[in-house]
Structure 1
Amino acid sequence: MKTKRIHFILGISMLVLTCNPITLNAQGCVAIRHFSSCVGNSLENNLLGKGDLQVGMNYRYFKSFRHFRGTEEEPDRVANNSEVINHSHAWDFFLTYGISDRFYTSITIPTVINARSSLYEHGREERNSSFSRGLADIRAGIGYWLLDPIDNPEGNIAVGLGIKLPTGNYNATDIFYNVGPEGSPEVRPVDQSIQPGDGGFGLTLDFQFYQKVATGLFAYGGGFYLLNPRETNGIRTFRETLSPILENEAIMAVPDQYSVRTGLSYSLSNVISASLGARFDAVPVKDLIGGNEGFRRPGNVLSLEPGIAYMHQNFTLNLNVPLALRRDRPQSVTDRQTEISTGTPRNGDAAFADYLINFGISYRFPKNKAMDIDPSLRDTFN
């Protein structure tokens, strides 16, 4: 029976390994930072037998530079060289352990390197850059498959609960030029979009599912919501120095984030799978719990997400490249308050990327060493 379970897990993994991390980046300076679900990095990583251990790393990169107000792009920002450019790199190192065939637990240790180039943060006189790097917010959690995976090989759903710890620096600083007395340089906190952490304890709720559609073809999906009860983290933004109407944005907020995705995964061979899906990533205007004061850039991105993966024995590689289809920077709380008080329409802007590169590598250490796929399962799962 134990061998059969291991065979099942390997078989179903071939079809869902292209379901790469449910990751929120919002592809630009909308998102506070790179973030993914607390409970495991993918369906494949969470389909574990009792005692199995999965370790791996996921790398993500994007360059944001296209400015939007609402869903309307402002192409003149690029044309006149006034756009804000973010280069964001993140490495998530994760470990997932099978408590049983249905229960699993995971921990993710993220690290980041970010660079931000702008004019407006440096006195609007010359373009300069600010940087941040280091440990981000560690996540940990537990998940549970609602149906026994062995008895329900054609479809299942898992639910998870996790926590986000404020381990990342949320007061990273750098030198800003032409902003001090008589235009001198001054050390200030870097922009919210490249801070490694947000300064708050968070709670995540997530789900994942897969369902067989035809031989070799599965539907997949999942999502998470990050609850950040803390309203602000006390770090000054200096935005109030840009305009009196930005007084409400003088302190950084600690906003919620969420992501959902769905698509189809097809097994091209015994070692290669491909997927195509859609994803929606967002920072909401208002949090579900807690207040909404402080500075945040609400926004959302709808993306087309192609992916490909390779799996041989216990080794897995996967690549997903979400392509932005629709980008939206809605009115923030401050935008709405200003519009009501002045009678003048107002909608802040945000920079977004065209695409995101998401590459993962993992290795499984099975408790049971009998890893050949049972021939009776090949037609079912490949």
Structure 2
Amino acid sequence: MKFTYKFLISIAIYLLFNNTTVNAQGCVAIRSTGGLCAMDEHPDSTTSGGAWLFNANSRYYRSYKHFVGKEEQKQRIALGTNVINHSFAQDFTLTRIFNNRWSFAVDVPVLNNTRSSLYEHGGKERHETKSFGIGDVSVKVYAWLLNPEKARKGNIQAGLGLKLPTGSYNYQDYFQNTGPGGTKLLGPVDQSIQLGDGGTGIITELNGYYNFTHNFGLYGTFYYMMNPREQNGVSSARGGVPSAKSIANGSDVMSVPDQFMIRVGANYGVGKFNFSAGVREECLPAKDLIGGSNGFRRPGYIISAEPGVTYRLKRFSVYTYVPIAMVRDRIQSTPDKISTQLTGVYTQGDAAFADYAVNVGVSFKL
């Protein structure tokens, strides 16, 4: 039984600290929302009397491959016209475990992004725009659905919370060679590197695990954030004048999209190490569950293989995991569909994706 409890704790810690940041790998602008799977330590552990957990997670990716649907636009790299995003997110998550059923978490992301392109800077020279600051803070409440005293081999945790519009969604930088006479022009940076989306999101979450033996088990996560606000009022014209086409199809103003993530996989514990292998899907849908779906967005999804490893001590854990993209799909947006109807010509935009993301973090039980 002692080994079983150790492994239960290992899985729970992995799920708590190894699932931070839904920040999709590229221009499909799924934003950082912090500890997505904030599964606490197993309720049979010593934290049942109340404890604090702190996690710091760093995530980095470089997006540079363009896709229309599932088809890669390889000519973009060959011609040097591709967009390159470097995205770094540092999430700080503090969780209060009240008892063996209930907990509360607050996540504060700090984002640092750079974006280089030709088309945003006159089309002849590659230049960068940048953004830095606090992103959208989230607060969530979690509860184990099954009685911990009876659910010895597995359990399900439900979460409900809010994503607050604390990150700037009108962050501005200078675009080169776009003003009168080729001068610099100050305007909102691209949606993919904005610090926030301007909406108050409703977060729903389910986290679960099941153990077959003392060192082998399965895990799963489902996360969905609804953004009722349709548009945030920020122009997508980068300080310039929106085109007639963008006004006609509604893409002249940035949208406030929903987002979701699904993760499933297996864990194997060896001593103080916990090894995991799973599949992860991150998605920014074309249509929101609540409210309208028009405005500029790059909807799509990424399906990744997700290996990971965690080294665990009594009050301290270190982990790393690297989701590696297997499928990348930039789907039709609402403005794409409107343009198709207006012109009679099928329209579908592109988006840049990364090959992988790197996540490294540490956690402490206070």
Which TM class, normalised by the smaller chain length? over 0.9
Superposed, which structure 2 residues align to 1:84-99 within 5 Å?
Answer: 84-99=83-98
Aligned to 1:146: 145
Superposed, which structure 2 residues align to 1:213-362 within 5 Å?
Answer: 213-238=212-237, 243-247=243-247, 248-269=250-271, 271-362=272-363
Superposed, which structure 2 residues align to 1:94-243 within 5 Å?
Answer: 94-238=93-237, 243=243
| Partners of 1:110 and 1:136 within 8 A in 2 | yes
Deviates further, 171-180 or 10-19: 10-19
1:362–1:37 distance in 2 versus 1, CA, 3 Å: closer
Aligned to 1:73: 72
Q: Give distance in 2, aligned partners of 1:250 and 1:111.
A: 28
Q: Give distance in 2, aligned partners of 1:22 and 1:221.
A: 14
Q: Give distance in 2, aligned partners of 1:93 and 1:237.
A: 30
Q: Give distance in 1, aligned partners of 2:58 and 2:280.
A: 18
What are the Cα deviations for residues 63-110 of structure 1, in whole angstroms up to 9, with x where unaligned?
Answer: 000000000000111111100000000011011111110111110011
Aligned pair partner of 2:13 in 13, 17, 23 = 17
| Partners of 1:142 and 1:161 within 8 A in 2 | yes
1:353–1:44 distance in 2 versus 1, CA, 3 Å: farther
What are the Cα deviations for residues 306-340 of structure 1, in whole angstroms up to 9, with x where unaligned?
Answer: 00000011101111100000000001111111112
Query: Unaligned 5+ residue runs, structure 2?
Result: none
1:207 is aligned with what amino acid? L
Q: Give distance in 2, aligned partners of 1:200 and 1:130.
A: 23
1:86–1:54 distance in 2 versus 1, CA, 3 Å: same
Q: TM-score, normalised by structure 1?
A: 0.89
Q: Give distance in 2, aligned partners of 1:276 and 1:361.
A: 19
Q: Give distance in 2, aligned partners of 1:97 and 1:298.
A: 34
**SS of equivalent to 2:11:** helix
1:103 is aligned with what amino acid? W
Query: Unaligned 5+ residue runs, structure 1?
Result: 366-382
1:68 is aligned with what amino acid? F
Q: Give distance in 2, aligned partners of 1:237 and 1:32.
A: 17
| Partners of 2:110 and 2:133 within 8 A in 1 | yes
What are the Cα deviations for residues 126-167 of structure 1, in whole angstroms up to 9, with x where unaligned?
Answer: 110000001101101101001122432210001010101111
| Partners of 1:301 and 1:328 within 8 A in 2 | yes
| Partners of 1:57 and 1:362 within 8 A in 2 | yes
Q: Give distance in 1, aligned partners of 2:165 and 2:300.
A: 23
Aligned pair partner of 1:35 in 33, 36, 61 = 33
| Partners of 2:177 and 2:184 within 8 A in 1 | yes
**SS of equivalent to 1:341:** helix
| Partners of 2:231 and 2:255 within 8 A in 1 | yes
Aligned to 1:373: none
**SS of equivalent to 1:198:** coil
1:242–1:75 distance in 2 versus 1, CA, 3 Å: farther
Q: Give distance in 2, aligned partners of 1:146 and 1:238.
A: 47
**SS of equivalent to 2:301:** strand
What are the Cα deviations for residues 113-134 of structure 1, in whole angstroms up to 9, with x where unaligned?
Answer: 0000011111112110000001
Aligned to 1:26: 24
1:25–1:33 distance in 2 versus 1, CA, 3 Å: same
Q: Give distance in 2, aligned partners of 1:313 and 1:203.
A: 34
RMSD, aligned CA: 2.0
Q: Give distance in 1, aligned partners of 2:49 and 2:360.
A: 27
Q: TM-score, normalised by structure 2?
A: 0.93
| Partners of 1:38 and 1:140 within 8 A in 2 | no
What are the Cα deviations for residues 157-211 of structure 1, in whole angstroms up to 9, with x where unaligned?
Answer: 0101010111111111101011111221110111011011111111100000000
1:334–1:349 distance in 2 versus 1, CA, 3 Å: same
| Partners of 2:19 and 2:35 within 8 A in 1 | yes
**SS of equivalent to 1:35:** coil
Higher relative contact order structure (alpha carbons within 8 Å, sequence separation ≥ 6): 1
What are the Cα deviations for residues 194-237 of structure 1, in whole angstroms up to 9, with x where unaligned?
Answer: 01111111110000000012341010011211111111111111
**SS of equivalent to 1:355:** strand
**SS of equivalent to 1:116:** strand
Q: Give distance in 2, aligned partners of 1:183 and 1:30.
A: 30
Q: Give distance in 2, aligned partners of 1:214 and 1:60.
A: 32
% same residue: 42
2:245 is aligned with what amino acid? I
Q: Give distance in 2, aligned partners of 1:45 and 1:234.
A: 44
User: Following TM superposition, by how much is the alpha carbon of 1:12 offset from its aligned partner in structure 2, in angstroms?
Assistant: 1.5
User: Following TM superposition, by how much is the alpha carbon of 1:245 offset from its aligned partner in structure 2, in angstroms?
Assistant: 2.1
**SS of equivalent to 2:77:** helix
1:193–1:291 distance in 2 versus 1, CA, 3 Å: same
1:33 is aligned with what amino acid? R
